[in-house]
Structure 1
Amino acid sequence: MNLLFRFLLVGVLLIGNHQRVLAARVDTVSINSPAMHKSLKCVVITPDQYGSATSSRYPVVYLLHGYSGNHSDWVKKAPALTALADRYQQIIVCPDGANSWYFDSPLNPALRYETFVGAELPAYVDANYRTLPDRRHRAITGLSMGGHGALYLAIRHRDTFGQAGSLSGGVDIRPFPNNWNIKEALGEEATNAANWERNTVINVADSLRNGDLRLMIECGVNDFFIDVNRALHQKLMQQKIDHDYAERPGAHTWTYWGDNIEKHLLFFQTGFGK
């Protein structure tokens, strides 16, 4: 091995080691929920500069999974997420929401996922990570069930979240009374209609005033949730609620979500910077 080749090899190794040191860190933590008397797993991604700048504080994006998913879905199925945490210098938190639709069930006291994600989890993250601990620097988004959950939680917890998004969100649950375990939390729609009316995003949005939240809503044109997203968009337009709305080519797939999550992080970054 000649001297020049050795020099080049050492340089490549040093660059590789440097990149590894400055890569986002992915941790899985167990967080106690006093409301549900159990611990739930969360993935926490801290950006590359987090470990080297010990006095810096960071905005937080809460990123929710869909039905049948779990806390690890986003980091496993959209692996570019760690690079995006570095690019935008955001802490990204992915909680386990089971198949809850992120409700506090009016029927089952063991299901308190609104309380967990809307209150207990942000309190834990602010206490254990160097966050910017105010609503201006907290955002929440998610896919499918998580898109519903993100808008639902942000609207109901405007003191906690300043921005919210939805990717392919089930933003009106009423057309789907027998799907995705919703009735386990709310009861049969036919006999518990009030629960369904009170806990669907398109109705919860009635309480919004313009400027309460920065909102980004999008859905693929071939998605089975496209009609309910269009209906929510029209309602927000009628209420004169400013929001970003987009329909893009795509369906209810990880290809769509992985390709478009950066748009949400960039949207939030713009809001964090104001």
Structure 2
Amino acid sequence: MTLIESYIYSETLMRDVSVSVLLPLPSITNAEYGEGVGLPSDDHKYQTLWLVHSATGDHTKFIRGSRIEAFSRANKMAVVMMGVDNSFGCNVPNIGNYFDYITEELPKTLQAIYPLSDRREDNFIGGTSMGGFAAFMASLRKPEKYAAAFSISGALAIEELEKIESVRPWYINVTNALFGENRQYYNPHEHDLQTMAEDLLQSNKEQPALYACCGTEDMYYRAGYDVIQALRAKGLNVTYEEGPGAHDWDYWDPQLGHIMRNWLPKKGDLVHFKK
């Protein structure tokens, strides 16, 4: 395995950014366990999972909180972890166009640097909590870029968070920037997943496969469940699972492993590109 910390300049965000990239490359573990991970040749590239962190976090949260390195190796899949601050992955007026950054600029940049496939069938996006919203939003608005998206304990209805007293000060601060103090920037086509789903259905574009899960003891349960049911009622292909668990890595880590191992449409090996 190789963990690469990339420091690049983002024209979209107009500042330097850090991105963590996991590549399943040969290591002593291969010799010990015979996993058969090899170096990519000129005509082979990796399927890629783009991961978006939870609120108040950064791009290192998955490395620090989960076994993502082991999951990347076991599934022979590259993983990119990018930071989006508290943006929900949206373009935030006067702060930064994070949606453009994660769906356009960053993939184009990293696919030029590393052996990452740019084909839709080889790209997936997922996240925890706030990152779950970002993943669903990206896949619904840019379905031509992702074959699948998943949300783990996703805050899929942003405005539901205001009802949770402990996070209300954070919610007010974040949504004042995102929506504007008078909601002058609010746009349901960019901030409401149900509206995005309707836009996708009307476009006749190919739908991404969607997966969501949440712990039944999660304080944000209602911020995800109702949206999932609404998306399914509209005709979207959403797999939903729930079970015991709270809003923490004890629930998120095994779910991440399960999704990568059993749900993502992975090939389990490098993908071939004709020269």
Same fold? TM cut 0.5: yes
- Where does residue 183 of structure 2 map in the other structure? 192
- Where does residue 165 of structure 2 map in the other structure? none
- Where does residue 19 of structure 1 map in the other structure? none
CA distances 1:10-53 after superposition (whole Å, capped 9, x unpaired): xxxxxxxxxxxxxx111111132112211211110001357623
Count of residue pairs brought into register by the alignment? 246
User: What TM-score do the two structures reach when normalised by structure 2?
Assistant: 0.82
**Residue identity in the other structure for 2:241:** A
**Residue identity in the other structure for 1:157:** K
Identical columns (%): 23
2:98, 2:138 → 1: CA distance? 10
Q: Which has the higher contact order (CA 8 A, sep 6+)?
A: 2
Indicate whether 1:26 and 2:8 are aligned.
Answer: no
SS of equivalent to 2:96: coil
Post-superposition, which runs of at least 4 consecutive aligned residues in structure 1 deviate over 6 A?
none
| Distance change in 2, residues 1:140/1:182 (3 Å) | same
Q: Structure 1 regions of 5+ residues with no counterpart?
A: 1-23
1:202, 1:152 → 2: CA distance? 10
- Where does residue 62 of structure 1 map in the other structure? 50
| Residues 88 and 269, structure 1, Cα contact 8 Å, conserved in 2 | no
Indicate whether 1:74 and 2:54 are aligned.
Answer: no
User: What TM-score do the two structures reach when normalised by structure 1?
Assistant: 0.83
Which range moves more in the overlay, 179-188 or 54-63?
179-188
- Where does residue 134 of structure 2 map in the other structure? 149
Of structures 1 and 2, the larger Rg is shown by 1
SS of equivalent to 2:57: coil
| Distance change in 2, residues 1:152/1:164 (3 Å) | same
1:196, 1:251 → 2: CA distance? 31
Matches within 5 A, 1:162-173: 162-173=147-158
| Residues 141 and 200, structure 2, Cα contact 8 Å, conserved in 1 | no
SS of equivalent to 1:247: strand
Q: Structure 2 regions of 5+ residues with no counterpart?
A: 27-36, 163-167, 269-275
Q: In angstroms, what is the RMSD of aligned CA positions? A: 2.2
- Where does residue 175 of structure 2 map in the other structure? 182
CA distances 1:168-225 after superposition (whole Å, capped 9, x unpaired): 111001223444423222223xx21770634132332222338511111111111122
1:114, 1:57 → 2: CA distance? 25
- Where does residue 113 of structure 1 map in the other structure? 98
